[in-house]
Amino acid sequence: MNDNLKGILAVLSCSTVFVVSDAIVKLVSASLPVSEIIFLRGLMATVMLAAGTMGLGYMRPLAVLLEPLMLARIVAAAGASTLVVCSLRDLPLANVNAVMQMTPLAVTAGAAIVYRERVGPSRWLAAIAGFVGVLLIVKPTSGVFGWAAYTVLLALVFTTTRDLTTRGLSRDIPSMFVGAASAAAITLSGLLVSPLDAPWTMPSPQAWKLMAFSAACLFAGNTLLVMSLRTGEIGVVAPFRYAPVPLSIFLGYAWWGDIPDGIAIAGIFLVLAAGLSLLYTERLTLLSKSPRSERAS
């Protein structure tokens, strides 16, 4: 099995477990407060990631967590996860998942501002088209989804910040250590928002099982995500990250009877088209810089 095929399988698996995790959260949110779900799922994921970090020798001094970029990354990860869980309670699964697919486009635009990276007209156009698609999906001014529409948009801001700060972290810091620290911060965020939420209740045995499975999905998803980013050519592997969109539409219909309306479908396709066009542009850029291209010139 070559590296490209390994990378494709990793990103497909990663995307699938993340969607399943979100679907389970939405399912459990019908019987438990959001803050309780965030705390309990985060606690279980933290234990799993911490065990993996220590077992593989990836621990680093805790002082690393106070470095500005690391601290910003942890806070952004906690905010993103909290807001995504909140939005899943009130929005269709497919809508939330499609909005989150805007993150790579937003990171491209953000990198031009924060890191002064060169972003050409085609990349800016893709980012703008993706943002228009997001607005079509959530329709924030229509009042259809109320405050949940603004919640998922704010979640997008946090996911973009999370990924931008991750790019600036030292490569000496293992990804699993970052993941464990972020999971701990997410757990803490559940406690912080609990005063604003409904009183906590004792989860049923079924709810415990579902949250444990969701936490395991987070652990597996984060591990597979790192693998997918480090294996194979980005231009070949990255397009498969959009595979969860059809899966989220199917699960939304099968479990809740949700069917995106025509405007939302148009927005989903616009986000997908923008993301794929950006990946195509990146692939052309990589090919132009390859040694073979240099020899041919």
Instruction: Return the pLDDT at 296.
Output: 45
Instruction: Return the pLDDT at 297.
Output: 39
Amino acid at position 225, single letter = L
What pLDDT band is residue 290 in, cutting at 50, 70 and 90? low
Amino acid at position 116, single letter = R
Residue 43 has pLDDT above 90, yes or no: yes
- As given in the structure block, the two tokens for residue 275 are 């993301």
pLDDT > 90 in the chain, percent: 50
Instruction: Return the pLDDT at 278.
Output: 76
Does this model's pTM top 0.75? My answer is yes
pLDDT, averaged across the chain? 86
Instruction: Return the pLDDT at 218.
Output: 84
- Which of these, 22, 16, 23, 32, lies nearest to 206 by C-alpha position? 32
Sign of the Cα pseudo-torsion (138, 213, 45, 167, in order): negative
Amino acid at position 82, single letter = T
- Average the pLDDT over 28-38 and give the result: 94
Of the given ranges (10-19, 209-218, 265-274), which has the lowest mean pLDDT?
10-19
pLDDT tens digits, one per residue of 88-102: 999 999 999 999 988
